Structure 1
C-alpha cells in the first residue's frame, strides 16, 4: 500500500512543478512566440492553440509527446524540442502540424524512428534528429513524405552504426545534410546517390574507410564538403573503386581536425582530385608539426580562397620558411590566417603570392619589425586589402612605411594595436582609401594620417578633438572618444557618414548640419546632450534630423539640465526661465522697481525718511564727547529763527532780554555757534546747553530749511526728555496747519497751550515782554 501512495505523490509533485513552470512561459503576441525553454517542464504544457506560430520547449525534462499535446496548434511553424529526455512520440503527435517548417528533436533519448511522425509534415524544411539513441534510421524510408525538406541532420556519436540506401529515399535535393557517425560501421554503397544535388555536406567523426565511401558517392553532386571532428586525419588510406576520380566539390572545409606535416601533404594530394575546388577552409583545428611539407605533389591548384582560423600549434615558434608550399599559392586571391599564431611571413614566401588581393593576419603575434619583413619589397604585388588588427604593433610610422611598399594597397586595418604616439608625418601607400585605427590608444590625430582617405575609423580611442583636413573623406567613424562637439565641416567637406556615438557632444546646430552638404547619415547616439532652448528649437523645427540621425529618437537623451535628464531630446520641455531669461530678468527688474516706488511713496507719506534721518543724527550727536558745561545750563534759551527775521530778533528781542535786570543769556547761531563745527552738532549742543528753545515763528521760518532742522531736533528732544522746553513766538499770524504734520507734539502744543504773539499795537508790547521773560524764567 505504501508504494502506490508514494508513486501518486511523486506524480502529483511533478505535475505541480510542470504547472508552475508553465505559468512562467512568456508569450510574445506580436510574433506569436511561446518561449518555454529551460522551465523544467515534465510534459508539453496545454494551451498551444491556433494563434501560435513558434514554440520553444528545449532544455526541459519532457519524456513523452502525446497525440493531444499539439492537436490545436494547426498554424505552428517552428517546434523546438531539443535537449529533453524524450523517449516516446505517439504516432499522431504531429498529425495536425501541416504548416510546420522547422522541427528539432536533437539530443533526446529516441531509440526508434517512425515515418508516421512525418507523414503530415508536407511543409517541413528543416529537420534535426541527431544526438539520439537510435542505431539506424529505420526499416522503412523515413523522409519520403518530406518533399519540401532542405536541411537535415541525422546520426549520433555513440550508437549510430548503419546507413542504408533506403534512408534518404524520396529526397532529391538538399541545401544541407549533416551526418554524425563516430561509430558508423556499415555504409551501403550508393546511399547518397538518390540526392542528385547537395549544396553542403557535413560528415562528422567518420572513419577513413567509411568516409571514402561517402565521398565516392557524392563526387558529382556535392558543392561544399565539410569534414568535422576527426582525429589524425589520414587521407592516404582513402580507397576508391576508381584509381583516378574527379570530385566536383568547389569548397572544402576541415573543422576541429588534428593535422600533422605528413597529413597536410596527404590532404594536398587529395585535393588534386578536386579540379573545381576554389575555396579551402581549416577552422578550429590543431597542427602538430613545424611546416616541413616534404613530398608535396606538384599539382595545378585552382584554389583562390584559403582561410585558416583558430589554428593552434605548440611549436609555432619553430615553423619553417614554407618554401615547399610556394608553388601552391600563386593563384590564391584571398588569404585569411586569423588567430593562427603567425609571427612572421618569410619574404621569399610572401613574394610567391602573385595573385593575392586580400590578406587577413588579424589576432596574431606580428610586431613592427616582423611586419616590415613580411611586407618586403616585391611581396604581395597585387594586394589591395590588408588586415593586421589585434597584433603587437606599436609604431605607426613603421607600419605606414612597411605598407607603403604595397603599391596597390587601398584598405588597411591596424586596429586594436598599442600605438604609443602618432608622429607629425608618415609615408603611406599612394592609393590608400580606407584606414582603421580604432581601439589603438591614440590620443591625438596628426598629419600622419594620409589625406587621400575616403573612410577613416578612429573609434574607441582617447581623442578630444578632430581638426585634421581630409578633403576626400566620405565616412568618419569616431565613436567612443571624448569629443565635445561635431568635427568641423571645413575639415571634412565631403563627409556622407559620420559616427560620433558615445562621446561627450553637448549638441549641434542648424548651421553645423547645413555646412555638411553631403551628409546622409549621422550617428550621434549616447552623447551628453545639453538641451538648451536653441538646441531643442532646432531639433523640433528640422524634419531632416529624424531622417539623418541613426536611432532617432530613442537613443538621443538629455543630460542636462538636471530636471530633464534622461528624457528624449524630441519631447523634453524646458522651464520658462531657461528659454526667456532676459524677459524674466526684465520682468523681475520692473517688478522690483514698482515695489521700490511703492515703498518710496509710502515712506514719503509716512515720513519714514525723516524718522531715519533724525535717529541717525541724534545717535551721531550722542556719540560725540561731552562738552565742558554738559552738566550745567549755559544759556537760558536757544533762539531759532529765520534769517529774514533777524532784524527783529537781533535789534528788538535780544536787546530787550539781554539788557534787562537780571539779563538773560541767549544762544544765537550767528554769535555762539563754534566755527568749523558740523552745524548739526552745533544745533544739538546749543539746545542741550539751553533751558528753553525759543522759536520765532513766521512764514519765513516755515520756509527755512535750517529752522526745520531745529524744529526736528526740538521735536526729538520733547520725546527724549519728556519736558516742555519749547517757547513759541508768533511774529506774524500763522496757522498751526502750516507746520509739518509729522510734528505732532508741536502741533498739539499750539492747539493746547498759549503761545506768545507779537502785538500789532505798541501799547501791548510791555505785556508781551513780561510774558516772554516769565516764560523763559519758568
Structure 2
C-alpha cells in the first residue's frame, strides 16, 4: 500500500540545518511548514500535492536552487509576499536556477494568474516550466520576463496562449531574449507571420509542435545556432515553402504528421530527419543526394492517403561519390509493392533498414549494404526469398520476415556468420528451414506456422548457439527421441498449443534450459529426466493424470514457477512438493482432485498431504515476503467431496471431519483473479 503524507508539524525540519534536498512530492499535504531555518536547502520538491493552495506566507530559504511546484493548487503568482489563498511568492530567491510550476490544469484551476514583477528577484534562473496550465494574458507580458537575464530554457507547452511570442521584444535585443537557448511553445496558437520575433534569439532548440502554422517561409532564417527544430503536426502542406537551407547548424528536424507531398529544401548538415505520417508518394532519384551527413531518416506512415509511398527510384540515396553516413532508414507502413535493391546504392554505412508493413511481393537483386545489421521485412506479401538476396550483407545480425503469410520456403545458400536473430512468426512454413549456414543463431521464432513433424536432423548440423526457440501454435509432432538434445545452450523453449502427439522424451538432455512452455498439447506423461537449471515450467491445459513419484526438487532443483492448471490430476504423491526452496508460484487449478472419504485410499492420503503442505507454506509465508497464502489457494488445489455431492467444495484450511463438506460457490467464482497472490496467482 502506498503511503501518503497528509500533515507535517510546523517545526518538523528546524533541526535539519545541513539538509540539501527535501522531496515531498505526490503526497496529500495542505500546508508546508516553515523552511526558513534550512539555510543550506538547495532543492525543494512539493509537486502534485494538489491540496496545497498557497506559498506566499511561508518562508522559503534563500539558498534554494531548484523549486518544483508542478501540479499544486496555486492560482495566483504575486509580486509581493501577500498572505493570499491560492498564491505563491518568489521574493528573495536570488539563487534559484530551476523553477517548475507546470500542470496547473490537473489541479482543477480554471485559470492561473501572474503579476508583473513576480520574477523580479530570479536573476539567476536558467530554466522555467509553465506547461499544461491555463494562464491569464499577463503571462505574455514582456515586463514579466525581462528580469530573467540568465534564462536559457523556457517550456510553455499547451498553455493556451493566444499570442505567446509577445514576450519577445522584436525591436531590441533584451538580456532575456539573447540568453535563451531552448524554447518550447508546442500546443499553443502561433501566428506564422510573427515568427520574425524569433530572429533576435540565439536558440539552439525550438519546439513548435501542434501549433497550426500551416505555412512557414522565412520565419527560421537568420537563426545560425539552431540545432533542433520540431514542427510536428503544424499543418505544413507545401514543402517548397519551407526553406531551411540557411540553418547551417541544424542537426535534428522533425516535420512528422503534416500534409507534405514534396520535400522541403533541407539544410546541408542535417543528421536526423523525421518525416513520419505525411503524404509523400515517391522517393525520386537522388532525392537525398545533397544530404551526406544524415544518419537517421524516418519515412514511416506515408500511407495516410490512398496512394502513399509506392516507389523508391534507383539511386535515391546516391551522393555522387561522397560517402553517405546514413545508418538508420525506416520505410514502415507505406504502400511499396516491389523493392529493387539498386535503390539503396551508396548506403555503405547503413546499419538498420525497416520495410515492415508494406505490400512488398518481390525483392529484386542483392542488397548492396555491407554494414547492415538489422533488416525488417515483416508484415508484407513476400512469397519467396531469392537465395542471393543477402549475399552482400555479411554483417547482418537480425532478420525479421514475420507476418509474410504466403512465405513457404527460405534458403540460406551462403554462410551468414553474424546472424543471431531470425523471426519467421506468422508465415506459412510446413517444415523448419535449413539453418545450417547460420552458425551464430541465438534466437529462432517460428510461432503460428504449419510445421508438422520435427526430427533430430532439423537441428543436428546447426544452432549450437541457439538459446531461444519459439515454436508455439503449429502442428508439431515429436516422437520418442530427444530432438532438441543437440541444442546444448538452449535456455528458453516454447512448444505450446501444438498437436497431441508430443513425447516428453523430446525434451531430454536440456541441461541449460531455464524456461519450458508446453501448455495445451494434450501431454499425458510427466518428466522422469532432470532439468538442473529449469526455473519456469508451464504444462497447463494438458492431460496429465499424475506427476510421477520422483520429488520435483530432484527433477528441478531451481524451479520457481509451475503451472499445472486444467489437467486431469487426481492426486499428488507424498514428498512430491517437498524442499522446493525457490518456489514462488504454483497452480493446480481446474484439476480432478477428489476426497473419497476412504482413509485407506491413495486419493485420501494425497488430500492429507496437500493439506499439510499448504499449512507448512502458510508458516513459511510469515518469514518470506515473496510468499502469500490466502484462502483463495483453495481454488488452486480444488477438492470435491464425493460423499455428498461432487460439486461440494472441500475447504483445505478448515479442521473438519471427512463428512463435513464446505459449500462456497461464491468464493469459488471470485477466485478466478489471483493476481494479488504472487505464489499462486497468474
**Hey, what does 1:158 align to over in structure 2?**
111
In structure 2, distance between residues paired with 1:531 and 1:254: 60
Q: 1:510-521 counterparts in 2 under 5 A?
A: 512=459, 515-519=462-466, 521=467
Unpaired segments of 5 or more residues in structure 1?
A: 1-26, 28-32, 35-47, 50-64, 580-778
What's the CA shift for 1:335?
Answer: 1.6
1:193 is aligned to 2:148: yes
Tell me which residue corresponds to 2:273: 335
Task: Select the residue among 367, 385, 392 that pairs with 1:452.
Answer: 392
- What is the alpha-carbon distance in structure 2 between the residues aligned to residue 336 and residue 172 of structure 1? 33
Could you tell me whether the CA contact under 8 Å between 2:120 and 2:148 is conserved in 1? no
1:265 is aligned to 2:217: yes
Return the alpha-carbon distance in structure 2 between the equivalents of residues 167 and 526 of structure 1: 66
Q: 1:122: how far off?
A: 8.2
1:748-772 C-alpha deviation (Å, 9 max, x unpaired):
xxxxxxxxxxxxxxxxxxxxxxxxx
Whether the aligned pair in 1 keeps the contact of 2:217 and 2:241 (CA below 8 Å) is yes
> Cα distance 1:211–1:339, how it changes in 2: closer, same or farther (>3 A)?
farther
Separation in 2 of the partners of 1:501 and 1:101? 52
- By how many angstroms is 1:188 displaced? 3.0
Asked if 2 retains the 8 angstrom alpha-carbon contact of 1:176 and 1:201, the reply is yes
Larger Rg: 1
Match of 2:518 among 557, 570, 573: 557
2:422 match: 477
Quote the offset at 1:478 in angstroms. 0.8
State whether structure 2 residue 226 is matched by structure 1 residue 309. no
Shift of the alpha carbon at 1:161? 4.3
Match of 2:658? none
Return the offset for 1:337.
0.2
Partner of 1:129: 71
Whole-angstrom CA distance in 2 between matches of 1:574 and 1:123 = 68
Identify the residue that residue 389 of structure 1 maps to in structure 2: 332
Cα distance change, pair 217–481 in 1 and its aligned pair in 2 (3 A): farther
Displacement of 1:385? 3.5
- Matched-pair contact (CA < 8 Å) for 1:209–1:238: no
Look up the match of 1:658: none
Aligned pairs for 1:99-118 (under 5 A) are 103-105=46-48, 112-114=54-56, 116=58
Worse-superposed segment, 438-447 or 124-133: 124-133
Query: Residue in 2 aligned with 1:767?
Result: none
- Work out whether 1:439 is the aligned partner of 2:382: no
Equivalent residue runs for 1:214-363 within 5 Å: 217-219=175-177, 221-234=179-192, 236=194, 245=200, 247=202, 249-261=203-215, 264-269=216-221, 272-273=222-223, 275-287=224-236, 289-293=237-241, 299=246, 301-311=248-258, 313=259, 316=260, 326=265, 328-345=266-283, 347=285, 350-363=288-301
Give yes or no for contact 2:97–2:126 (8 Å, CA) kept in 1. Answer: no
Q: What per-residue deviation string (whole Å, max 9, x for no partner) do you get for residues 696-753 of structure 1?
A: xxxxxxxxxxxxxxxxxxxxxxxxxxxxxxxxxxxxxxxxxxxxxxxxxxxxxxxxxx
String of CA shifts for 1:363-406, please: whole Å, max 9, x gaps: 0036575422792765896244421110011123x4x3433475
Using a 3 Å threshold, how does the CA distance of structure 1 residues 187 and 509 change in structure 2: closer, same or farther?
farther
Distance in 1, matches of 2:124 and 2:460, equals: 59
Shift of 1:162: 3.3
Q: Where does 1:364-375 land on structure 2 (aligned, <5 Å)?
A: 364-365=302-303, 370-372=311-313, 375=316
Q: Secondary structure at the match of 1:480?
A: coil
CA distance in 1, matches of 2:154, 2:422: 39
Structure-2 change in CA distance of 1:574 and 1:155 (3 Å): closer
Q: Which residue of 2 aligns with 1:648?
A: none
Contact 2:149/2:179 (8 A) holds in 1: no
CA distance in 1, matches of 2:480, 2:176: 71
Cα distance in 2, alignment partners of residues 300 and 481 from structure 1: 46
The equivalent of 2:438 in structure 1 is 492
Cα distance in 2 for residues equivalent to 1:189 and 1:124: 20
Question: 1:303 deviation in Å?
Answer: 1.0
Pair 1:210 & 2:166 matched = yes
Quick check: 1:89 aligned with 2:45?
no
Assess if the C-alpha contact under 8 Å between 1:124 and 1:149 holds in 2: yes
Post-superposition shift, 1:351?
Answer: 3.8
Distance verdict in 2 for CA 1:197–1:552, change over 3 Å? farther
- Tell me, what secondary structure is at the counterpart of 1:459? coil
Secondary structure of 1:415's aligned partner: coil
CA positional deviation for 1:561: 3.5
Give the direction of change, closer, same or farther, for the CA distance of 1:246–1:554 in structure 2 (3 Å limit): same
Distance in 2, Cα, partners of 1:210 & 1:441: 54
The count of aligned residue pairs is 485
In the alignment, which residue of structure 2 is the partner of 1:429? 368
RMSD: 5.5
Report whether the alignment pairs 1:545 with 2:490. yes
- Deviation sequence 1:306-338 (CA, Å, 0-9, x none): 121222x3xx5xx5x66xx53x42222322100
Pairwise mapping of residues 675-686 of structure 1 onto structure 2 (< 5 A)? none
Partner Cα separation in structure 1 for residue 468 and residue 80 of structure 2: 59
CA deviation profile, 1:639-694 (whole Å, cap 9, x unmatched):
xxxxxxxxxxxxxxxxxxxxxxxxxxxxxxxxxxxxxxxxxxxxxxxxxxxxxxxx
Match of 1:169, SS? coil
When normalised by structure 1's length, the TM-score is 0.50
SS in 2 for 1:129: coil
Write the distance in 2 (CA, Å) between the matches of 1:213 and 1:148: 23
Alignment partners' CA distance in 2, 1:569 and 1:514: 28
State the shift of 1:339 in Å.
Answer: 0.6
2:638 corresponding residue in structure 1: none
Aligned counterparts of 2:204 and 2:455: Cα–Cα separation in 1: 53
Please identify, of 344-353 and 457-466, the stretch whose mean Cα deviation from structure 2 is larger.
344-353
TM-score, normalisation: structure 2: 0.56
Contact between 1:208 and 1:237, CA under 8 Å: does it hold in 2?
Answer: no
Q: What is the deviation of 1:218?
A: 4.7
Per-residue deviation at 1:258? 1.3
Cα distance in 2 between the residues matched to 1:203 and 1:329: 29
In the superposition, relative to structure 1, how do residues 548 and 368 fare at CA in structure 2: closer, same or farther (>3 Å)? same
Conserved 8 A contact 2:227-2:249 = yes
332 and 194 in structure 1: CA distance in 2 versus 1, 3 angstrom threshold:
closer
CA distance in structure 2 between the aligned counterparts of 1:182 and 1:514, rounded to whole angstroms: 73
Q: Which has the higher helix share?
A: 1
User: 1:143 and 1:308 mapped to 2: Cα distance?
Assistant: 42
When residues 99 and 209 of structure 1 are mapped into structure 2, their CA distance, relative to the original with a 3 A threshold, is closer
Q: Which runs of 5+ in 2 are unaligned?
A: 82-88, 495-511, 527-533, 551-682
Counterparts of 1:122 and 1:363, CA distance in 2: 47
- CA distance in 1 between counterparts of 2:368 and 2:94 reads 60
Distance change >3 Å, CA 150–CA 474, structure 1 → 2: farther
Give me the whole-angstrom Cα distance separating, in 2, the residues matched to 1:267 and 1:556.
59
1:467 to 2:399 alignment: no
> Is 2:103–2:131's contact at 8 Å kept on the other side of the alignment?
yes
Partner of 1:522: 468
